[in-house]
Structure formats: structure tokens, C-alpha cells
Structure 1
């Protein structure tokens, strides 16, 4: 599913952050927070400045602010982090727990198939649905050239 170890973590963290809370909670059902887990940074909500560029190549400018919730959880010698858009503390907690569990080689395959695979399928289905809706509203414009 993933190719490079450092890219794999970035990809699964992105997937965990994009997943709706209900789907993430369903996928994580049965994976409760272990007793030896320690919150290094409990969930905190704050603002993050979004920057943009016109055309992708222009000078950067401040586009606006978005609320994010972040947290860090230590589980044994592994540290799970989460940054999620919005102010849902539970979403951040579950994402940080999943990140810490996915770093454990002994549990990685189980967590990957139980949590990441269903979330990836759901994300792909949502993207295809959005693409179909956008394609249905596409308008083709034709130009008629008059005599030369």
C-alpha cells in the first residue's frame, strides 16, 4: 500500500485527518487507549494561517485562518501525533492513537487492514461521487467561426 517508510506515515496521517469522525471511530472500535499511554500534548484547538498563491506560482499571500486540533500521545517508545481540521477533540485523540499503533511493526498490518483500508475505500468512494457530480454539471462551450 505504501512505498517509503517516511511517506507511508505522512500518507496514513493524512488519511486519518481527512476521515469523518464516525468512520474513524467505527474503524477504531475495539482499539481502546492502552493503560500505558501518556498524553504529551492533550488535544488543543487553535488557528492556523492558510497561505495561497495565485496560479500556483505567484507571490504567497495570507488566504485565511482555519481551526485545527492537535495532540501527541506516547505509547511505549512510540509517539503518535495528530493535526485535524476543526475543533473535534475526539477525532484528534483517535488519529494520534492510530498513528502510535501504526508505528509498531508487530501491529502495523492488523491496524492497517482494520483502520486504514476501510478509510481509504471510503475516501476514494467520496472522491468518485464528487467527481461524478461535478461531471454531471459540466458545460461544453463551442465557438462558431464566421466566414473568413
Structure 2
């Protein structure tokens, strides 16, 4: 039995983009962090990564990966969270600040200036990777031999 994939909420989409963004690119798009109260300082830990047999079948434990998490509160009261792969504490803090800001009045501005840019860049990276993979595709075919007729 396979699980149906539920549509993602806008917050799930932007949190995924922020987590997958390259830290230097995220810092370039959003260089200045507003004042905030740290609820959970950026800390490094490990999480278990699960895979699925055949991509959709039974889950299995693939192994552990390093993540950094952070939680903070802005002066407006908005709370932001972030989990990013790796050990980059600045990346986690910046992603958490953006998560909090995207829940408030600045959402439209940040969506246009940061999220839309990250979505475009990610789509280009995926397209490039797919084109490279397609270039290695091998077409197998069978020749008809005389005795097979």
C-alpha cells in the first residue's frame, strides 16, 4: 500500500527552500538580520534518514545525517524555526529569521525578493542535473534475427 502525497502548505514550501539553499546565496539575498530573541540557539545534531523500497514502498532506515536546528522570536512575536542539513549555524539562524518574517507583514516583499529567487535557481539546478542525466541515457534495442521469424 502506498501513501498519497498531500499538497504542501506555503510554509512547508518556503522552509524547504530555505533549508536547501546554499548558505552563501541565502546570506547574499538576505544579509541583515533584524533583532530577535533566541528560543533555541543553533545546535548541531543528527537525524535518521529514511528511504522507501522502490521509492514508494516500505520505509527503511538509510542512515544518519547531521542537521542544525534553531528557533527564535522576533520583536513582533512571530516565531521562526529552521532545520538545515550540515553544521552551518548561521544558515539555520538566517532561515529561522526568514521563517518568522514570512509569517508577518513582510511576507509579500520577502516572497518576491528571496523565495521566488531561490525557487527559480533551484528549478534551474534541477533542470541542469536532469539534462546531464538524460545525456547518459542508453537506448537498448534488439535486432531481429532471421531464425526468429
* TM-score bin (small chain): 0.7 to 0.9
Aligned residue in 1 for 2:99: 99
Q: What RMSD in Å do the two structures reach over aligned CA positions?
A: 1.3
Counterpart of 1:39 in structure 2 is 38
CA distance in 1, matches of 2:34, 2:53: 46
| Alignment coverage as a number of residue pairs | 138
Q: Report the Cα distance in structure 1 between the residues aligned to 2:123 and 2:52, rounded to whole angstroms.
A: 27
Trace 1:33-112 onto structure 2 (pairs within 5 A): 33-35=33-35, 37-55=36-54, 56-58=56-58, 60-75=59-74, 76-104=76-104, 106-112=105-111
Q: Extract unaligned runs of 5+ from structure 2.
A: 1-7
CA deviation after TM superposition for structure 1 residue 61, in Å: 2.1
The answer to whether residue 122 in structure 2 is matched with residue 123 in structure 1 is yes
**2:17 is the counterpart of 1:28:** no
1:140 is paired with a residue whose SS is coil
Structure 1 runs of 4+ with >3 Å offset: none
| Residue 113 of structure 1: aligned partner | 112
Larger radius of gyration: 2
Aligned counterparts of 1:89 and 1:143: Cα–Cα separation in 2: 55
How far residue 145 of structure 1 moved from its aligned partner, in angstroms, is: 4.2
TM-score (norm 2): 0.87
Instruction: Give how far 1:41 is off.
Output: 0.4
